[in-house]
Amino acid sequence: MSIILTSPLDMHLHLRDEEMLSTVAPLSAKSFSGAIIMPNLVPPISTKEALLSYKERILKACGKENFTPYMTLFFKPTYTKEFLESIKDDLVAIKLYPAGITTNSEGGLSGFDVEELRPTLTAMSELNIPLCIHGETNGFVMDREAEFVSIYEMLATNFPKLKIIMEHITTKESVEALDRFENLYATITLHHLLITLDDVAGGMLQPHLFCKPIAKRPEDREALRKVALEGNPKVMFGSDSAPHPQHAKESCGCAAGVFTAPIALQLLTELFVEHSTVEKLQAFVSDNARRIYNHIKVPTKRVTLEKEPFIVPTKYDNVVPIFATKTINYNIIKIEKIGDR
């Protein structure tokens, strides 16, 4: 049986820059119609000039693929309404990082004083610019996301017209928060649907499964699977595919990030088929995102998958993917690109 996905979207993607960008961007652009691009470069993307320059480099790396990079800014509480108005047509969202909580986030927010944030977040509300958040505190690593839920609640309450995306959620507490606030949405990764902390560190340490936020308990994974597999309209696929060179992963200072982009659609298909909910996959990988981000334009692309063995490559250039060398059950057999960028 063929499974056809129309205009799949990755709503949380890291493409890095320079040589790494050249390696990984074509892999996403081949099978996805578009992706929200994270801004945590060094230095972070925080000006219009930097945003447009980065977008140009991405498009060059993607070549002739029918793919749209949806650009984001690195959140700063000093953004004025005038500045946001000047850049509104060039970005899709703004990404907020707590300071030092993940890769290249040292320039992030060190506190959540609602009055300090009010001018920028009010302007974003008025201009319909969504706020994407990496939601973790600096507490004990397994509790960081659950502790951050109170901050999501504070922001959702104080800025009810602001669309807030809880990025790469990993806990049942975050899932439960979705139902409490109309303006809260979430992305869910492939790897958090598949693994728990036991897969990362229960036996021999698996560096290519180490990420932030860290994989959690089985009950957290089940909560994520429930909302994704049952078609909850407030969640969407965001890979958080985060490439690092092999030497940075296989070292005593292991970099955080799981590289999933080239096989994400194949593994998602396998998961949804296994749970007899493949009819919900289209919503998870495209339709929900298009409704939540109702101002984006999406190139039409049809991706056909079938059940046939596919051996995950050992690496792509110098980046090792999730489940390298393993055989998975679904493969992309055809990609139809319809229309121009």
Domain parsing of the chain, residue ranges: 2-340
Contacts of 91 by beta carbon, 8 Å cutoff, 6+ apart: 51, 70, 71, 72, 73, 129
Which of 57, 37, 38, 59 shows the shortest CA–CA distance to 49? 57
Is-contact 326 314, C-beta < 8 A? no
SS3 263: helix
- Six token digits for residue 17: 């820059």
pLDDT tens digits for 202-211?
999 999 999 9
SS3 172: helix
Contacts of 79 by beta carbon, 8 Å cutoff, 6+ apart: 73, 94, 120, 123
Mean pLDDT of 54-72: 97
pLDDT tens digits for 95-104?
999 998 898 8
User: What pLDDT does 338 receive?
Assistant: 81
Percent of the chain with pLDDT over 90: 95
Percent of the chain with pLDDT over 70: 99
User: What pLDDT does 1 receive?
Assistant: 82
CA distance 174 to 219: 13
- Six token digits for residue 177: 């928060």
Is-contact 43 30, C-beta < 8 A? no
**From 10, 220, 240, 287, the catalytic residue:** 240
Residue 317 pLDDT greater than 50, yes or no: yes
Query: Pairing between strand 164-166 and 327-338?
Result: unpaired
Mean pLDDT of 178-207: 97
Which of 213, 292, 306, 329 shows the shortest CA–CA distance to 9? 292
CA distance 318 to 56: 24
- Six token digits for residue 82: 């005038």
pLDDT tens digits for 18-56?
999 999 999 999 999 999 999 999 999 999 999 999 999
Which of residues 105 and 287 earns the better pLDDT score? 287
Tell me if residue 113 is catalytic.
no
Q: How far does CA 8 lie from the centroid of its chain?
A: 13
- Six token digits for residue 264: 């994400």
Alpha helices (H) along the chain: 18-31, 48-62, 81-87, 114-127, 144-158, 172-178, 190-194, 197-201, 218-229, 246-249, 264-274, 281-282, 288-292
- Six token digits for residue 332: 């992309």
User: What pLDDT does 339 receive?
Assistant: 61
**Assigned fold of 2-340:** TIM Barrel (3.20.20)
